[in-house]
Structure 1
Amino acid sequence: MLDRRQSARDKVMYGGVAGIGEGGTTRDCVVRNISDSGARLEFDNVVKPPREQMSLRIARRGRSFLARVIWWRDNFVGVAFSAETPFELPVSDLDERLRKSEIKKRQLERRVKQLLGEG
């Protein structure tokens, strides 16, 4: 299978917040893989992302991106980062939401380990 990506993506599991609507509408997501030029996002349920651009904040990387939606299927979205430098989002509760997202991710990881008998 031909990979059309400009750079290889690293498999990760980062908490993120995506700005997917006008008026500052945001949704929590999980970044499943990432590279310098794009990422694959997973949402809790089916999502229809904006057609043009969305914002993405990744707490673990401490960065924000403008991203262009390349594809989406059910609750998965593939995005390409804009060539512009990362920017800061003007949302006041964003840091708190990211912190909660990271806590939820750690709880989920612990639960998976328990279920697999590793913890």
Structure 2
Amino acid sequence: MASIFKNISVVGIAGGVLSIILWINFAFVNPYNDPTMGPMLNTFFMLLLPACLAIFSSIKLSQLLMFIAFVWSVPMSIYLIATPGIFSLFGLTSAFYLVSFLLIRFGRHSTAIHQ
């Protein structure tokens, strides 16, 4: 049963790590980024912090925290889906959070049923 939970947590961790890598690229490597702190601070709160929360909740298998990370990241992710380029992948990371939430939720129920 422990291997099931390891597989469940991989999805959330992968989404969080991918989101962190994309945010670093968005904030520091992106040539179109405004050098002021406004956009960087906004994306820090809307993309990077939910990614850290998603990683933490995947490790702890907390469905509530994963759902919060998903809902928190959705508005900015939907906005970035419409942009051309690599930053549309933020929508994929948000989908990873949703899938991880569903796996945690139904993974716990299925292990409780089989015991």
Structure with the bigger percentage of helix: 2
Structure with the bigger percentage of strand: 1
Question: How does the TM-score come out when normalised to structure 1?
Answer: 0.30
